[in-house]
Structure 1
């Protein structure tokens, strides 16, 4: 058996996601689409929230009508905003308060704000093939940095794409992500225009960088690794309780604050598989996500359970956190390492690459990487497992046992808040 597949920046490091730069002619259209999302629209047929991925997309998958997509997205937002409060109250008694301009309701509105409300562009964090991410800072009267925000600029409209369809795609991700209120989910604050009339999503800034960087640094202790794993599952469980499958869980989409909080970001290929008032959901469609983390059923079947696929992806991330690499490149029979895992799984044997893990870790990983999505453990079941119950999550870098966590030890944030003397 080959050794653990090591991370390779050219192979593994992926773009920040489907983050786009827009056409400046579309202002009236986006105002109309956001206004529609505020209205009480009738429920349409279920939808696939995305037709493409940052790294992999299925050109043969059936695509649901764009018109239905916006109606469903709007319905989801309207219903989720009211239900989120009760759900989040059961998750650490979170309150529904906004981080925009000192409070008030989260913004779902027809009048598009200016980026200037959030300050001036300060630093560029990164750019992928389809993405630009920057930091803006809002200065106080003394000229010191008061608040930092992360900004995503949207891609330009494609030539073959109508302006109406482009605007619907642009608003759907914002509408979904802006309903979430959870400590392990990056907060989406607003959709604004910059001074060049480009549309930007305003989000909270996580100065600790992404989990990929921390894994590569190899500085986290076993306690800190377990803390990151549990926080990821807490965020995933919340998303699934809201009826949303992320569908692109990977270390690059898990951000850290300087005090050790892990947050899930990038909802560009997310799928609304269940409305808040429903007990049963629908299957997801389309091959999306990043190949090493995609569940086998997504490769094999046209339809699959999005939440179960998320758990598989989280299992791969758990392996990455624990051992610092990838066990296989793709969960397909053409991958020899994956075939070795399947043989070991069917014989109820320990896969060779899992041997360095503890017994509890092996057991959890086996449940998460169950090839059968019907019997795969869920995120909520994971949180109820005694092993995860034994993991102490840090708050302000200190856990319940008084142990100091240094998840971002050695990380120098690109931007910091200046303190008044």
Structure 2
């Protein structure tokens, strides 16, 4: 457990069907199941009395095992919910409610209609620009977590979902760790993450997550570890997996050929570069780590991933450092950086879905063709523009007479029938291997 929780750990709950009702997007069929796992089932539901656009994914936990302590099991469910509920970022799934039904816990959350990104990667829908945009969105979400004292500890493609706007959303906080500050479920935190941030706590030895994504120091189980360094490593593995449509190795162990080449490359390079600092020097500025890295699209990507995968976790860069990388800053990203990046609709209000603000605006200089200082009527030399990835963007652009910049379209081709992309097949449980 990420923090010591009192026995009377209180979370507001309600009977599921008092507030929500089963919903199907298939005519004549109710209770659409999005996915099943060993420890939970995810279904599609709607809030009673709301319009049909307000759709939620409801994660129903399995019943407590016969050998499990009831108090500890309940704490675990409430801890996961409290952490998830405290998080508010464009690249993190919004958590709505904790409910009970027929003796089981139900976690109500934002519905991401395109399902998990893993299934889209397998079908090779994405191009390099999509991979880069999604990678940057992932890093933004993880940076938000770390800046609020929370490590995910199970970053993988199966735990990354996509919305109809093409936004990446991190989900499943079953093994997340509050490494700094108060646990959001404690009274002192008031339901917020990032309260009373002081010293950072390390995690006790033990393996959690999915083997291909786990950092070597965690697999070694030789001592306490920094969970932030684990997340950074996992983010790099996510990019490699997207790029090659498969994991670079089954586990970060020397018995794996590609991992052995990776490790040997580092060991050889560190003999002549003991400080371990990767530079832009094309002649020896970074280790030669085999075909997995040699065949990456650019040297800049290679250098960044190697910095994120330093074998020594103490020398591995932070996720904030990765986002501050000069090359990363050039990556075009179609999702807003924070929840405050709002766009107004034709009525001058912020469009919302399920209570979540939609869309983003920015500005372009007057030097851009077709743009004039008079465009916004204030003579500032810039006018608002609308991100085409945002909901209602075309309507907003027409009503405000502002340009639309189309960045990316990550969505797969439309299908007439409900496709398998709706499946949520992530761990749905504790995330332990």
Please, what TM-score do these two structures have when normalized by structure 1?
0.70
Distance 1:330 1:350, change over 3 A: closer
Aligned to 1:386: 326
> Retained in 2: the 8 A contact 1:139–1:145?
no
> Retained in 1: the 8 A contact 2:13–2:99?
no
Aligned to 1:39: none
How far off its partner does 1:407 sit?
1.4
Aligned to 1:354: 293
Write the mapping of 1:171-182 to structure 2, written as runs, cut at 5 A.
171-182=78-89
Question: Pairwise CA RMSD of aligned residues?
Answer: 2.5
**Residues 368-401 of structure 1, C-alpha deviations (whole Å, 9 max, x = no match):** 1111111101111111111111011114673799
Unaligned runs of at least 5 residues, structure 1: 1-47, 50-67, 75-107, 417-421
Could you say which structure has the greater relative contact order, defined with CA pairs below 8 angstroms and 6 or more residues apart? 1
> Retained in 2: the 8 A contact 1:210–1:252?
yes
Aligned to 1:330: 251
Aligned to 2:219: 299
How far off its partner does 1:361 sit?
0.7
Distance 1:72 1:169, change over 3 A: same
Distance 1:332 1:401, change over 3 A: farther
> Retained in 2: the 8 A contact 1:232–1:264?
yes
Unaligned runs of at least 5 residues, structure 2: 24-30, 182-193, 270-286, 336-358, 360-386, 390-402, 422-433
**Residues 227-248 of structure 1, C-alpha deviations (whole Å, 9 max, x = no match):** 1000000000011111111110
SS at match of 2:63: coil
1:278 aligns with 2:197: yes
Aligned to 2:20: 118
Distance 1:115 1:371, change over 3 A: farther
Please, what TM-score do these two structures have when normalized by structure 2?
0.68
**Residues 232-271 of structure 1, C-alpha deviations (whole Å, 9 max, x = no match):** 0000001111111111000000000011110100000111
Give the number of the structure whose alpha-carbon radius of gyration is greater: 2
1:402 aligns with 2:322: no
CA distance in 2, matches of 1:406, 1:145: 25
* Among 211, 236, 245, the residue aligned to 1:315: 236
Aligned to 1:369: 309
Aligned to 2:104: 198
> Retained in 2: the 8 A contact 1:124–1:135?
yes
> Retained in 2: the 8 A contact 1:369–1:376?
yes
Structure that is richer in helix per residue:
1
1:149 aligns with 2:84: no
Distance 1:402 1:329, change over 3 A: same
> Retained in 1: the 8 A contact 2:34–2:44?
yes
How far off its partner does 1:160 sit?
1.5
SS at match of 1:284: coil
